[in-house]
């Protein structure tokens, strides 16, 4: 494979995408990239876990937060994190029930969630939040009523505050109500992942004490609002993510996303911010470690 000089002022080399079967960008030094949001327990990714983690490490990913979106997926995410974490690539997990799955929350769920949150390598509550696009009124994919979603969200926030854990927030068509709910839980911190709302909402999220997560959407041609907020967001409050297997960045759009592809989004966002890739990776990784209470291993 033919190497070419990396445009950044560092010792990185980038191998031409066409020379690698998956068109993956590889780096000759560890970049310290932290994929703060992916779903390794999903049916699309779980069967190829070893290969995915190998490609992630080759791409400069040094840490991953493996997100749970049901109690069952959260249990698997924790098992994957404990089994697969290494000195080269640290894997952590979150546990929670996504608003799409809010109808699964019942009288036994809180005890089950607390048990999951006590396990090794579980460092956050989530993915939780509100999704008023997929509520009970959606014509093709009806979800939980908005009231039920709010009840489940509040249950998670109570637990997060009691256990002093950060939260991973999903928001769609629900910014005003979601901010109203989280403001009632002073002291709870976390990230609004895959942030796509406008600058005014972003300001309110930051004032509430939360971080903003950015990934593949920033590379999409029609995502000017995402880019505007990503360029403006205080660097110390920014995380990067894939949301794999969803939302693969350009030039991999249309393919199944994976943690290695965070390198594409990171390079795009670093350029947007006028930073060297290595420094941008280091800073956003440090942000994630601080937010989720992860020390160097």
pLDDT tens by residue, the chain, 297 residues: 223 222 222 223 332 333 233 334 444 455 899 999 999 999 999 999 999 999 999 999 999 999 999 999 999 999 999 999 999 999 999 999 999 999 999 999 999 999 999 999 999 999 999 999 989 888 898 899 999 999 999 999 999 999 999 999 999 999 999 999 999 999 999 999 999 999 999 999 999 999 999 999 999 999 999 999 999 999 999 999 999 999 999 999 999 999 999 999 999 999 999 999 999 999 999 999 999 999 844
Q: Is the peptide bond before 127 cis (omega within 30 degrees of 0)?
A: yes
The dotted CATH code for 31-292 is: 3.20.20.140
Question: In the prediction, which pLDDT does 137 show?
Answer: 85
Quick one: CA torsion of 265, 70, 57, 24, rounded to 10 degrees?
-50
What is the pTM assigned to this prediction?
0.90
**Sign of the CA dihedral with 105 first, then 111, 114, and 115 last:** negative
- Break the chain into its structural domains and give their ranges: 31-292
Question: In the prediction, which pLDDT does 30 show?
Answer: 55
Cα 196 from Cα 214, distance rounded (Å):
8
Provide the β-strand partners of residue 192. 169, 212
Question: In the prediction, which pLDDT does 133 show?
Answer: 93
Cα 266 from Cα 248, distance rounded (Å):
12
CB atoms within 10 A of CB 274: 8
Cα 186 from Cα 87, distance rounded (Å):
35
Question: In the prediction, which pLDDT does 6 show?
Answer: 29
Cα 73 from Cα 198, distance rounded (Å):
31
> For residue 196, which of 177, 173, 179, 180 has the smallest C-alpha distance?
173
């Amino acid at each position: 494979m033919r190497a070419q000089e990396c445009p950044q002022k560092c010792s990185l080399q980038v191998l031409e995408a066409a020379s690698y079967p998956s068109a993956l960008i590889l780096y000759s030094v560890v970049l310290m990239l932290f994929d703060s949001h992916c779903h390794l327990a999903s049916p699309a990714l779980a069967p190829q876990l070893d290969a995915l983690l190998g490609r992630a490490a080759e791409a400069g990913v040094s840490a991953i937060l493996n997100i749970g979106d049901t109690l069952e997926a959260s249990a698997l995410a924790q098992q994957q994190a404990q089994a697969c974490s290494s000195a080269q690539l640290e894997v952590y997990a979150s546990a929670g029930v996504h608003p799409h799955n809010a109808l699964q929350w019942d009288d036994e769920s809180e005890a089950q969630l607390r048990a999951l949150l006590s396990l090794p390598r579980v460092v956050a509550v989530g993915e939780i939040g509100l999704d008023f696009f997929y509520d009970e009124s959606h014509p093709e994919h009806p979800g939980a009523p908005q009231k039920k979603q709010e009840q489940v969200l509040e249950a998670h926030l109570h637990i997060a505050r009691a256990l002093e854990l950060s939260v991973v927030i999903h928001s769609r068509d629900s910014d005003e109500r979601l901010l109203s709910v989280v403001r009632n839980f002073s002291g709870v911190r976390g990230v609004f992942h895959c942030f796509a709302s406008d600058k005014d909402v972003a300001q309110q999220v930051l004032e509430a004490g939360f971080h903003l997560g950015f990934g593949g959407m920033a590379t999409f041609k029609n995502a000017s609002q995402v880019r505007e907020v990503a360029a403006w967001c205080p660097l110390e409050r920014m995380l990067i993510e894939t949301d794999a297997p969803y939302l693969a960045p350009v030039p991999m759009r249309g393919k199944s996303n994976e943690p290695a592809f965070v390198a594409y989004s990171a390079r795009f966002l670093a350029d947007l911010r006028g930073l060297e890739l290595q420094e941008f990776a280091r800073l956003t990784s440090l942000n994630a470690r601080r937010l989720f209470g992860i020390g160097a291993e």
